[in-house]
Chain A
Amino acid sequence: MQLEKNLYGYIWQGKDNNCNSYLIADCLDQNKHLLIDPGHIKTKVANESALEVLLKGIQDDGLDPGSIGLILLTHCHPDHIEAASFFQTRLKAKVALHRAEAEIYQQMGGMADLLLDEGDLILGTQPLKLDIFHSPGHSPGHITIYWPEKKVLIAGDLIFYQSTGRTDLPGGSLSEMKQSIIRLSSLDIEWLLSGHPYGHPGIIQGAENVKKNFQFLLQQLMIEP
């Protein structure tokens, strides 16, 4: 589903747990695309063909999945990373994640081509600039990706519609999550794209709605906005 020019969202609509994926088209050389969080290959309980659904969604948008040149992983949980190996080995895409998640990714059988830290990521010759924020809380090396030109924040499992990611998983931290959310709340955001469709597609559109969501979360987290 196209959200903006060159920005696509693939909202998971299956029964089982899987993440939303997002794609920025034509941002790399040779008109290659960037894909964020490819999700499961098959879901764990209902065995749904999550990767097939994603590939079909991309094709239905008139894009070639074979032209995906870079995969960004917001964090290293199986429901976000599993299909990365398909793009890496079959389509020769590069895989990037925060350096704090690299070891666990390796233990899970993956090998990142690129390691990320907080800073800017410049793509293509246009060029397209993304800001990578280290946003721990849900996992130690969780990142969020901000596209200033379009005012888009790809929030992974840090922020959902009226909820936040879990902090009870290994490496999670409520205090770090609070700090991460406070930092991001000051950004100018028109599109907030979450990592899951929990009771809501996970796409919050409009600066006012995004602001309200932040206010709600900060109140829930008992923080003064």
Chain B
Amino acid sequence: MEGRKAKTAFELAMEKVAEMPKLNADEIEEEHKKESIAKGEAIAQHYLQNIHHKTDIQNEMTAFGPEQILTARISALRCLTQELSLTKPETSRHILDGIAALNPDVSTDTALKRLNHIIHDYQTELLAAYSSFEKTEVKNLKQEGISGSAVKPNLKALNSWQVKQAKLTASHTSKLDNFQKSLLPQ
């Protein structure tokens, strides 16, 4: 034991690290990429939660090196575009402002017009389908001897309505998907 000094836990850990195989250049690049993706997502989330303003997004991006900035930017953009929704038009402008801050090719007003058009088409079709189903169901109820100003069918309880609504949503979601893709750098 003489002349030998006990090692601290930190020293032992560092020895183990030193024994580990070194990452090659590709693996290092992969690690940096993962880190940039995570940071990009975090920046987008902070913006969505109103912790960050759109100018903060741009400032945050300047912290990335030239090799990471594109990955982080695309990651943040993907995160923001995925939040665009057919059913929450009230959030559209805020999200598109964030997207425009990350992608200079996007103009908030132009993108908002296109998105509102998609949402309007969806809601118009949905409303028309709802009215048509409701009309049919009111007729069915009358045939069963139930009518009057107090009563309306609850379409949520109808499987056929659930199926119709899902189909309509799916068809308009594909339009929204294409729009979301168009907001990413080409």
Binding site for B on A (CB under 8 A): 27-29, 32, 69-70, 94, 96, 99, 102, 106, 111-125, 127, 129-132
Contact = CB atoms under 8 A, between A and B. Distances in A.
Interface string B79-105: 000000000000000000000000000
B2 interface: no
Contacts, number: 67
Given A28-B145, A114-B141, A125-B145, A120 B150 contact: yes
Interface of B: 141, 143-154, 156-157
Given A28-B144, A114-B151, 11 more contacts: A70-B146, A114-B152, A114-B153, A115-B151, A115-B152, A115-B153, A123-B145, A129-B148, A130-B148, A130-B150, A132-B150
Contacts of A118: 150
Nearest to B144: A29
B157 A111 contact: yes
Contacts of B144: 28-29, 69, 94
A113 to B, nearest CB: 5
A119 B154 contact: no
A115 B149 contact: no
Q: Please give me the 8 A-B residue pairs with the lowest Cβ-Cβ distance, nearest first.
A: A119-B149, A119-B150, A29-B145, A132-B150, A122-B148, A120-B148, A124-B145, A121-B148
B137 to A, nearest CB: 9
Contacts of B151: 96, 114-116, 119, 121
22 contacts: A27-B145, A29-B143, A29-B144, A32-B145, A96-B151, A111-B156, A113-B153, A114-B146, A114-B151, A115-B151, A115-B152, A115-B154, A116-B151, A117-B150, A117-B152, A119-B150, A120-B150, A122-B146, A122-B148, A127-B145, A130-B148, A132-B150
Interface majority SS (helix, strand, loop, mixed), chain A:
strand
Contacts of A106: 156
Nearest to A110: B157
Contacts of A114: 141, 146, 151-154
A179 B66 CA distance: 69
A92 to B, nearest CB: 11
Nearest to B143: A29
A116 B141 CA distance: 14
Nearest to A125: B145
A125 B146 CA distance: 9
Contacts of A124: 145
Contacts of A69: 144-145
Contacts of B156: 106, 111
A174 B151 CA distance: 27
B149 to A, nearest CB: 3
A118 B152 CA distance: 11
A112 B157 contact: yes
**Most A-side CB within 10 Å, residue of B145, B150, B157:** B150
A96 B150 CA distance: 10
B154 A102 contact: yes
